[in-house]
Structure 1
Amino acid sequence: MVELANAGEGLYRQGFAGDTFNTLWHFARHAPAGWQAAYLTGLGTDRISEEMMAFFKQAGIGTDTVRRIPGAAPGLYMIHLKDGERSFSYWRDMAAAKQLAADEAHLAETFAIGDAFYFSGITLAILSPADRVRLLSHLARARAKGQMVAFDPNVRPRLWPDLDTAKAAVEAAAQVSTLCLPSFEDEQNTFGDESRAATAERYRRLGVDEVVVKDGGGAALVVSADGEDDVPSIAPQALVDTTGAGDSFNAAYLAARLGGASPAEATRAGHRLACHVVSGHGALVA
């Protein structure tokens, strides 16, 4: 999406960001040898879409998987900050990304060349019900082939018609995923979980092999075939902006795991990158 961040004195700085893109942008910088990042999304053919495509390429992100949709345009959001914590205003009703799974042939071509896949609850929330089912079917086939399918539930209630629909979609997504990276606050608010352990256990019961429960600035709980680990976070010297903290954690975790690190080692890598990102402005901190 197009990002507008307050630059002071009534001015705003334009950038490009969004939850899955933030993760991909950071992953491209930390990817292990032999791995390349590519983005499955939808973009228009307007000027700002062309600028976004150029930004993808500059970041080392493959664009052959981007679906171009004449007449469509990117979504837009604005960041509001107070004491380092952020809130957002969105304009995404006509966003081209909402059509990223509408073309079966394009989806099939993309999944044929991918070796690992990452998506989020926001990905699911912006799709039509039919497109959501189509995407999850391809992800299920990827998992059946033994490929990594990583999922961050990232529940944003205002994107869903009601909470029951959101919960059902998250559970369906978990059932096709090998790795889940939930945030405890979201899970507590959505599912009523009383602890990080309850969150991890719920996703394990849904069939997820590996669960990492993030907890803001607290420790992350990792549950996998290796057992359980409570991995402390790293406190930043200065908390500037929490935008993209969880997204960057996910990027470092995925890069580390695909590079052969253990879940605990990957969690420490996630904490290190998240600590760095919250020390700067915006989601994409070089």
Structure 2
Amino acid sequence: MAGKLLSIGECMVELMQAEGDLLRKGYAGDTFNTAYYARTFLPADWSVDYLTAVGTDTVSGEMLAFIEKTGVGTTQIRRVEGRSPGLYMIHLKEGERSFSYWRSVSAAKTLADDADHLRAAIEGSDIIVFSGITLAILAPSAAETLLSELRRAKAAGKSVVFDPNIRPRLWDDKQYMLDTISAGARSASLVMPSFDDEAAHFGDADVAATIARYRGLGVYNIVVKDGPKGVTLSFGDAPLQFVPSANVDKIVDTTSAGDSFNGAFLARYAVDGDPVKAAGFAASAAATVIQHHGALVSRDKLPSA
């Protein structure tokens, strides 16, 4: 059955280390990465669109051309005069990543400023994806505008998917961060947290505690990612299900591990409705991604859908 997936957030210019002192330019960002992998694994009768804002500068134009080339739609992307895309650099050490960011004039911070545009895009979609980073870059009033529209979508029966993706450096106040992440979860019908984030910032003792907390916020479909320890699923009234991680020969770059899992999971789950099978496939996709450099791994290197 055909459908429409909309992912909302910030795509940034990505600089990654190449040979010598050279840098390689790309484009990535958590919700765009998810859109990329969802597009890769969804059948052709599904559309995948990205909602953000970019500038009117040359780099913004190049970013739009890149997004279109991946097959992700750009019709929901607004262009804002006087703004530009954010930029980040990946630093790798033994496969683990750290980042430096430059995003003070990021156009994506205005993605919810046109409320009518936002509502129309959400109303026209079947699956809507957003993250804690989406919320973190917005002013409080803009974050509330977005959450209000997502609550409407959830009430209308749409699938609203939230990855908390907690990045404390993006938030000015810890309590506001925790409160806003919780508000994001209340707006969602499916939450896909990473356990290490939840333990570090919410103090969850174990995966069961993470599931119980999100259940308490009114979320009844939960996928808890726990890196090499696997994934735990809590869907409706069904018993908890555990899906092991896939084998990895050598970790090269963990960038986009969770994003690729999310995109692959949503693609498979949208087609057959089986969360366990979707998680198994997504684990295989994420294991492939972390054995290559960069956030977006080419289709020919990924498992077939």
**Contact 1:184–1:214 under 8 Å retained in 2:** yes
Helix, strand or coil at the partner of 1:272: helix
Q: How does 1:28-67 map to 2 (within 5 A)?
A: 28-67=39-78
Quote the residue 1:115 is aligned against: 126
Structure 1 Cα separation of the partners of residues 247 and 96 of structure 2: 15
Instruction: Check if 1:234 corresponds to 2:234.
Output: no
Task: Point out the more displaced range, 2-11 or 257-266.
Answer: 257-266
Structure 2 Cα separation of the partners of residues 136 and 35 of structure 1: 25
TM-superposed CA distance for 1:33, in Å, is 4.9
Helix, strand or coil at the partner of 2:250: coil
Instruction: Check if 1:253 corresponds to 2:265.
Output: yes
* Residue segments in structure 2 that go unaligned for 5+ positions in a row: 1-11, 299-305
Structure 2 Cα separation of the partners of residues 270 and 197 of structure 1: 21
Structure 2 Cα separation of the partners of residues 88 and 204 of structure 1: 32
* Residue segments in structure 1 that go unaligned for 5+ positions in a row: none
TM-superposed CA distance for 1:266, in Å, is 1.0
Q: How does 1:69-218 map to 2 (within 5 A)?
A: 69-218=80-229
Equivalent of residue 284 in structure 1, options 258, 271, 296: 296
Structure 2 Cα separation of the partners of residues 180 and 123 of structure 1: 14
TM-superposed CA distance for 1:120, in Å, is 0.3
Structure 1 Cα separation of the partners of residues 288 and 154 of structure 2: 32
Equivalent of residue 231 in structure 2, options 220, 223, 247: 220
Quote the residue 2:280 is aligned against: 268
Q: How many residues align?
A: 286
TM-superposed CA distance for 1:261, in Å, is 3.3
User: Amino acid of the residue matched to residue 25 of structure 1?
Assistant: Y
Structure 2 Cα separation of the partners of residues 67 and 227 of structure 1: 43
TM-superposed CA distance for 1:130, in Å, is 0.5
Structure 1 Cα separation of the partners of residues 286 and 239 of structure 2: 24
Structure 2 Cα separation of the partners of residues 239 and 106 of structure 1: 41
Runs of 4+ more than 2 Å apart: none
Structure 1 Cα separation of the partners of residues 279 and 16 of structure 2: 29
TM-superposed CA distance for 1:162, in Å, is 1.7
Structure 1 Cα separation of the partners of residues 206 and 241 of structure 2: 15
Structure 2 Cα separation of the partners of residues 217 and 7 of structure 1: 27
Percent identity at matched positions?
Answer: 49
**TM-score normalised by structure 1 residue count:** 0.98
TM-superposed CA distance for 1:216, in Å, is 1.4
Q: Deviations over 1:160-196 (max 9, x none)?
A: 0121111000110111100000000000011000001
Q: Deviations over 1:92-123 (max 9, x none)?
A: 11100010001112112212321110000000
**Contact 1:32–1:256 under 8 Å retained in 2:** no
**TM-score normalised by structure 2 residue count:** 0.92
Structure 2 Cα separation of the partners of residues 71 and 115 of structure 1: 33
Structure 2 Cα separation of the partners of residues 199 and 140 of structure 1: 22
Task: Point out the more displaced range, 137-146 or 27-36.
Answer: 27-36
Q: What is the RMSD computed on CA atoms of the aligned residues?
A: 0.9
TM-superposed CA distance for 1:197, in Å, is 1.0
Structure 2 Cα separation of the partners of residues 135 and 167 of structure 1: 17
**Contact 1:79–1:89 under 8 Å retained in 2:** yes
Q: Deviations over 1:117-140 (max 9, x none)?
A: 000000000000000000001100
Structure 1 Cα separation of the partners of residues 137 and 167 of structure 2: 11
Q: Deviations over 1:47-85 (max 9, x none)?
A: 010001001111111111001101210000000000000
